[in-house]
């Protein structure tokens, strides 16, 4: 699928033809949530790795019936079929929509980042509700188009930031809104997960020679919108694709939506006005690496327009991963030795708020805020909340109208990564970098021939 970089989003949305094998895009089709059906008929696209987890959570909902499963790896399909023997199986998502679109109401998109947009966009065009794994899409322009398409179609949407429904993140959002730490002066995000660099962040280069594609892998479907690359075991599939610019969005793209989510919602942030990124020197100085892989370490700084919750007219939000860490004085507010590897820290005029990823937040200094009690919140499963929202026709925890602009911000960081050490003046309305023309080439991609939307 090939996307025209020069067409406007309006022209793109109005004039886009059908995806291969698909019917014309009609955004006025009635969506399932407006009916009185008692069961949500669901299709799982991507059933290995995180997709397998997603399938298990949807399958656990008493009012969800998974009627179809799709994966480019037949081994993944076979494993999923053991759980869902009656679900129809597909290795090509285009065939799934062509043959079964009338038989399901919602989908989850749990495949590598580079194929999120065409699948989710096709689903929306057919009036299907969409649960899409983070970071929503590979490119800024894709996220913008998908967000607008979901709004126009009136479907129910949810980004796969599952911890956003947890009590920890929801408590943090409430505490931020309640103003316990006063006006916010600065925010520090980090993801320094032990072992992540070795497991996920390949230095490259890619193998010079490819290997025979295993019989159970449908390689053309895996490549999808990306440039064709020879198959290589243990390099791309399964799970290693995140390290490559063709397929993934790097570590910040993968985890950034998780860490930023509570801050974004709690502070009601809008699009940033600038971004700049630092990366480790070895990647920056290696042309062979920096055109192919993502860095192993990033320090990204966004500047947001201030609002009633900020101490100044602008708010700086910094991201650290790999060899980059938040400043010692920030970590020392909690503990230099035990500072959570993945977390957000908000520094306010009256205190600080630490939001450890997947855990309950902490107001600092703790003695000052010991009187603040945790809010009483009901348990909420991110996947089940999506299903319930589809059945009841209500907005989800991470509806694309909220998570889309946040995802754009995170992926804008990957644009800055590819132009390191350069201040980028961002015009969100026109979706362009004002001062560095070459940076705009990273906002979208040309899709591989034969994969046009």
Strands 362-364 and 352-356, sheet pairing: antiparallel
Share of the chain above pLDDT 70, in %: 91
CA 344 – CA 346 distance, rounded (Å): 7
How do residues 392-429 score in pLDDT, each as one tens digit? 999 999 999 999 999 999 999 999 999 999 999 999 99
User: Residue 199 has what pLDDT?
Assistant: 67
Would 234 be classed as within a structural domain?
yes
Please indicate, yes or no, whether residues 289 and 345 belong to a single structural domain of this protein: yes
For residues 85-103, average pLDDT: 98
Please indicate, yes or no, whether residues 160 and 172 belong to a single structural domain of this protein: no
- Is 26's pLDDT higher than 90? no
Report the CATH number at residue 251.
3.30.360
Please indicate, yes or no, whether residues 133 and 258 belong to a single structural domain of this protein: no
- Is 371's pLDDT higher than 80? yes
pLDDT band, residue 203 (cuts 50/70/90): confident
Strands 129-132 and 298-305, sheet pairing: unpaired
Find residue 364's DSSP bridge partners: 352
Please indicate, yes or no, whether residues 202 and 338 belong to a single structural domain of this protein: yes
Report the CATH number at residue 73.
3.40.50.720
Strands 64-70 and 40-45, sheet pairing: parallel
Please indicate, yes or no, whether residues 133 and 206 belong to a single structural domain of this protein: no
- Of the listed ranges 21-25, 231-235, 398-402, the least confidently predicted one is 21-25
User: Residue 202 has what pLDDT?
Assistant: 78
Would 436 be classed as within a structural domain?
no
User: Residue 453 has what pLDDT?
Assistant: 78
Would 116 be classed as within a structural domain?
yes
Higher pLDDT, 26 or 356: 356
Q: Measured between alpha carbons, how far is residue 108 from residues 55, 159, 193, 223 in Å?
A: 8, 10, 27, 19
CA 422 – CA 324 distance, rounded (Å): 18
User: Residue 37 has what pLDDT?
Assistant: 61
Task: Choose among 354, 332, 9, 348: nearest CA to 149.
Answer: 9
Would 176 be classed as within a structural domain?
yes
User: Residue 238 has what pLDDT?
Assistant: 85
Structure tokens of 337?
Answer: 């030795």
Cα 166 to chain centroid distance, Å, stands at 17
Please indicate, yes or no, whether residues 153 and 175 belong to a single structural domain of this protein: no
Beta strand ranges found along 192-341 (DSSP E): 274-279, 298-305, 314-321
100 and 107 in contact (C-beta within 8 Å)? no
Please indicate, yes or no, whether residues 260 and 187 belong to a single structural domain of this protein: yes
Helix count and strand count (H, E) for the chain:
15, 15
380 and 389 in contact (C-beta within 8 Å)? no
Please indicate, yes or no, whether residues 150 and 233 belong to a single structural domain of this protein: no
pLDDT band, residue 197 (cuts 50/70/90): low
pLDDT band, residue 21 (cuts 50/70/90): very low
User: Residue 35 has what pLDDT?
Assistant: 38
Largest CA distance in the chain: 63
Structure tokens of 263?
Answer: 């801050």
How do residues 328-343 score in pLDDT, each as one tens digit? 999 999 999 999 999 9
407 and 159 in contact (C-beta within 8 Å)? yes
Three-class SS of residue 176?
Answer: helix
Please indicate, yes or no, whether residues 175 and 313 belong to a single structural domain of this protein: yes
Please indicate, yes or no, whether residues 255 and 344 belong to a single structural domain of this protein: yes
Please indicate, yes or no, whether residues 137 and 227 belong to a single structural domain of this protein: no
Would 445 be classed as within a structural domain?
no
pLDDT band, residue 22 (cuts 50/70/90): very low
Three-class SS of residue 439?
Answer: helix
CA 443 – CA 141 distance, rounded (Å): 6
For residues 210-237, average pLDDT: 95
Would 184 be classed as within a structural domain?
yes
- Can you give the residue range of the structural domain that contains 50? 9-164+382-400
For the chain, the domain total comes to: 2
Please indicate, yes or no, whether residues 311 and 215 belong to a single structural domain of this protein: yes
End-to-end CA distance of the chain: 5
For residues 26-38, average pLDDT: 44
Mean pLDDT for the chain overall: 91
Would 372 be classed as within a structural domain?
no
- Is 195's pLDDT higher than 90? no
Would 417 be classed as within a structural domain?
no
pLDDT band, residue 15 (cuts 50/70/90): very low
pLDDT band, residue 205 (cuts 50/70/90): confident
């Amino acid at each position: 699928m090939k996307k025209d970089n020069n067409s406007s989003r309006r022209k793109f949305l109005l004039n886009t033809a059908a995806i291969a094998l698909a019917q014309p895009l009609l955004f006025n089709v009635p969506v399932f949530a407006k009916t009185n059906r008692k069961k949500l008929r669901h299709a799982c696209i991507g059933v290995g790795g995180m997709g397998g987890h997603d399938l298990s959570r949807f399958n656990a909902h008493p009012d969800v019936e998974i009627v179809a499963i799709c994966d480019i790896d037949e081994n993944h399909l076979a494993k999923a079929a053991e759980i869902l023997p009656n679900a129809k199986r597909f290795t090509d998502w285009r065939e799934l929509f062509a043959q079964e679109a009338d038989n399901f109401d919602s989908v989850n998109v749990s495949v590598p980042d580079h194929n999120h947009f065409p699948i989710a966009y096709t689903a929306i065009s057919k009036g299907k509700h969409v649960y899409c794994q983070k970071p929503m899409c590979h490119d800024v322009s894709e996220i913008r188009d998908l967000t607008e398409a979901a709004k126009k179609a009136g479907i129910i949407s949810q980004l796969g930031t599952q911890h956003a429904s947890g009590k920890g993140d929801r408590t943090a959002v409430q505490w931020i809104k309640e103003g316990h730490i006063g006006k916010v002066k600065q925010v520090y995000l980090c993801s320094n997960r032990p072992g992540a660099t070795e497991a996920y962040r390949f230095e490259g280069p890619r193998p010079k020679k490819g290997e025979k594609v295993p019989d159970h892998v449908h390689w053309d479907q895996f490549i999808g919108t990306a440039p064709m690359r020879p198959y290589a075991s243990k390099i791309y599939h399964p799970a290693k694709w995140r390290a490559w610019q063709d397929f993934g969005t790097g570590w910040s793209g993968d985890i950034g939506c998780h860490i930023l989510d509570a801050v974004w919602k709690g502070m009601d942030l809008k699009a940033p006005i600038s971004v700049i990124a630092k990366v480790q020197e070895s990647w920056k100085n290696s042309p062979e690496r920096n055109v192919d892989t993502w860095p192993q370490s990033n320090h990204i700084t966004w500047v947001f327009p201030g609002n009633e919750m900020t101490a100044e007219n602008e708010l700086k939000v910094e991201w650290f991963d790999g060899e980059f860490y938040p400043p010692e004085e920030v970590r020392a507010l909690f503990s230099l030795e035990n500072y959570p590897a993945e977390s957000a820290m908000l520094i306010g005029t009256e205190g600080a708020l630490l939001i450890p990823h997947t855990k309950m937040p902490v107001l600092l200094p703790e003695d000052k805020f010991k009187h603040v009690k945790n809010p009483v919140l009901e348990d909420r499963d991110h996947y089940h909340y999506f299903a319930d929202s589809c059945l009841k026709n209500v907005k989800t925890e991470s509806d694309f109208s909220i998570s889309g602009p946040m995802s754009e911000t995170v992926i804008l960081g990957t644009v800055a990564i590819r132009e390191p050490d350069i201040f980028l003046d961002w015009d969100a309305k026109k979706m362009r970098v004002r001062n560095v023309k070459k940076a705009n080439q990273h906002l979208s991609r040309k899709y591989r021939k034969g994969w046009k939307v």
